[in-house]
Amino acid sequence: MERLSGQIPSSIGNLTLLYEFHFDSNNLNESIPSSIGNCQQLQYLTLDNNNFQGPVPKQLFLLSSLSIYLDLSYNSLANSLPIEIGNLKSLSTIDISNNRLFGKIPFSIGGCNSLEHLYTGGNLIEGTIPQSLTLMKEFQVLDLSLNNLSGQIPKDLEKLSALQSLNLSFNNLEGEVPTKEIFGNTSAIFVSGNDKLCGGIAELHLPACTNHGSTKREKSLALSIVLVIIGVILGFLLISSFLTLYWIRRSKSKPPSTPIIGEQLLKLSYKDLFQATRGFFANNFLGSDSFGFVYKGIIDQDEAIVAVKVFNFQNPRVYKSFMAECKALRNIRHRNLVKIVTSCSSLNSKGKDFKALVYEFMPNWSLDD
C-alpha cells in the first residue's frame, strides 16, 4: 500500500462534521495544522508513525468532542504539553509516546476525568509526577517510562483500584516505593532504571530505605569534611598540575583504548539507544542475522549517526556471541573494519536483559570503497 507524504493541508478545518480521522503509518511531515481545531465533531484521531514536527497545537486539546482515542506516537513532535490538555474531559486514551516532548506534565491533566490509558514513554519530559494523576479513578494503564521524571512516586497512586499496569521505568525517581494495591504486583509495575528508588515489596529487589534526616551533628561533620577536602586540594594543587600535564602528554602518545565521539567518552544506556533509534522504529531497521537486529540511530549530543546491533535473546547462543564480538573488536584495529563505538549491557523497560553493540554508521558503498 502506498504511503502518503507531504503535509496535512490547513483546509482540513473545513470538515466540521468529521467524526474519525486516521492518517497513521504514512510519511506525513511538517506540523499538525492548528485548523484541525475547527473539526468540532471529531472523536477519534490517529496520526501516529509519521514525521510530524513542531509543537502539538493547543487547538487540538480544545476539542471537547474527542472522546475515544488520540494517538500522536512515533513522530518528532517537540515542545511542552499545553495546559489546555485538561479540556479533554471525555477522552479515553492519549498516546503521545516516542516523540521529543519536554517540559513538565501539566497539573491540569487531572481534568481528563474519563482517561483510562495514558502513554507518554520515550520523551524528554521532566519534573515530578503531578499529584493530579492520582485523582484519575478510571486509569487502567499509565506509562511514564523513558523520560527524565524526578522526585518521589506519589503514594496516592495506591488508591487507583482500576489501575492494571504502571510503567515508571528509566527515569530519575527516588525515595520509597509504595507497597499496596498495584505496587504489590510485580507483573503490573515496572520501576527498573531508577537508581535512587528504595523499599517496595521484596520481589522488586530494591535496597532498603534509610532515614535521610540530618541532625546538627551530621551537618557539622559534613562541613568539617568539606573543609578538610578543600585544604587537601589547595595543598596539592601544584603537584596535581604536573601530574595532569604528564597524563595529557602520555594520552597523546597512545591511541585511545575506549571508543570516543567528539573527544568525549561515549556511555550509552538502554534509554539512550531507545531514543536514538526512535524506539527501534521499523523505518530505522537496517538488517538482521541469526544473533540480532541492526538499526540506524542518531546520538543526540553529537548528532552522530551510528548502527546499533541489538542481540536477540531468543537465540540460546546470543550470550556467547555477544562476549565473542566484544573480545574480538576490542583487540582488532584495521582500516577495512567498521569501528565499534561502544557497547551496552543493561535491562530494557520490561526489566529483561538487553545487550547491544554500537558501530560507526557506514552507508551502502561498494566493498572496494
Q: Report the distance separating Cα 91 and Cα 93, nearest Å.
A: 6
Q: Report the distance separating Cα 136 and Cα 140, nearest Å.
A: 9
Q: What is the DSSP letter of 323?
A: H
Out of 63-67, 161-165, 200-204, 259-263, least confident range = 259-263
Computed on alpha carbons and rounded to an integer, the radius of gyration of the chain in Å comes to 25
Global pTM exceeds 0.75: no
pLDDT for res 198: 95
pLDDT of 349 strictly over 60? yes
Mean pLDDT within 152-168: 94
- pLDDT 10s digits, 181-199: 999 999 999 999 999 999 9
**What are the cell numbers at 300?**
543526540
Domains of the chain, start order: 5-204 (3.80.10.10), 260-360 (3.30.200.20)
Q: What share of the chain is helix, strand, coil (3-state, %, to 5)?
A: 30, 25, 45
More confident residue, 88 or 254: 88
